Amino acid sequence: MATGQNIHTYFDGTWHKGNPAIITAADHGAWLGSNVFDGARYFDGLAPDLLAHCKRVNRSAEALMLAPNTSAEDMVNIVWEGLKLFSAQSTVYIRPMYWAVDGDVTAIVPRAESTVFAICLEEIPMAAATASAKLTRTRFRRPVLEDAVVNAKAGCLYPNNARMLIEARSKGFDNALVMDAMGNVAETATSNIFMVKDGEVFTPIANGTFLAGITRARHITNLSEAGYQVNQTVLSFKDFEDADEIFMSGNMNKVTPVTAFEERQYQVGPISQKVRSLYWDWARTTERP
């Protein structure tokens, strides 16, 4: 599936123009779901936290019983070579990925030694700085580790997120605020979540039911260094209803203010705006290769 335009794919040691067919119908990853990926961003000639994303895709591969065969440092070098195929003004989604080709005698367990690596660079615009989202509840929840591989960024987790989004859109909203198995707020269907109350920032504590994102961690660090109190704690829907501000955090768009949760309306507040400026200020200090 091509979400954007101007795609370049790294596979089998070389870059290919476009979106070549690199996975077959009999590959374990195609029919039994042993595929993981990560997503970094390239904008303004920068690729913030690229190494962290490459390290995470290797951890995700191990969580799915695959054998990562490319070091994070080598991945970074390969990505930067590929980014030379784009202009400095391009906005690119960077997607390293692994999947298994073969399974064991039961077919179900992937053969680690059959792990395959690829990178897809896809030109996808970032949302405008003025973009916002409206949230609703969803009956679907985040699973726990005993039920699913929530410790990986795995493709097999995303049909559950898709159900959340379809339900939210059917009700006239953009996204869903999602509970974990215990009934506490975990994240949205597409991103991590923050709220602001009386000048303090709050975000659900990472409890193993959702992926605590790299961009989420960057916002926590940036806000803390700027003097804001950031609390990682247990949060309920009621907490979000009573919040002064809410914003979403994800790699695709970095910061997205929330302007409604069900009937509750919010303004795009000063901290939501500040977290955006802090991120871009930090990103511009990152080293280029």
Alpha-carbon distance 221 to 116, whole Å? Answer: 34
CATH architecture designation of domain 133-283? Alpha-Beta Barrel (3.20)
Burial environment of residue 274 by CB neighbours within 10 A (0 to 12, 13 to 18, 19 or more): middle
State the pLDDT at residue 1.
52
Average pLDDT over residues 170-176: 98
Over residues 7-52, the pLDDT tens digits come to 999 999 999 999 999 999 999 999 999 999 999 999 999 999 999 9
User: Of the CATH numbers 3.20.20.80, 3.30.420.40, 3.30.470.10, 1.10.3720.10, which one belongs to the domain with range 5-123?
Assistant: 3.30.470.10
State the pLDDT at residue 5.
79
Alpha-carbon distance 239 to 218, whole Å? Answer: 23
Over residues 92-151, the pLDDT tens digits come to 999 999 999 999 989 999 999 999 999 999 999 999 888 999 999 999 999 999 999 999
Pick the closest to residue 173 from 197, 151, 153, 189 (CA basis).
189
**How crowded is residue 55: how many other Cβ atoms within 10 Å of its Cβ?**
19
> Band of the pLDDT at 288, cuts 50, 70, 90?
low
Alpha-carbon distance 214 to 35, whole Å? Answer: 20
Over residues 184-213, the pLDDT tens digits come to 999 999 999 999 999 999 999 999 999 999
Average pLDDT over residues 56-77: 98
pTM for the full predicted model: 0.94
Domain extents in the chain:
5-123, 133-283
- For residues 255 and 277, the answer to whether their CB atoms sit within 8 Å is no
- The position carrying tokens 């390969």 is 78
Q: Quick check: do 5-123 and 133-283 share a fold?
A: no
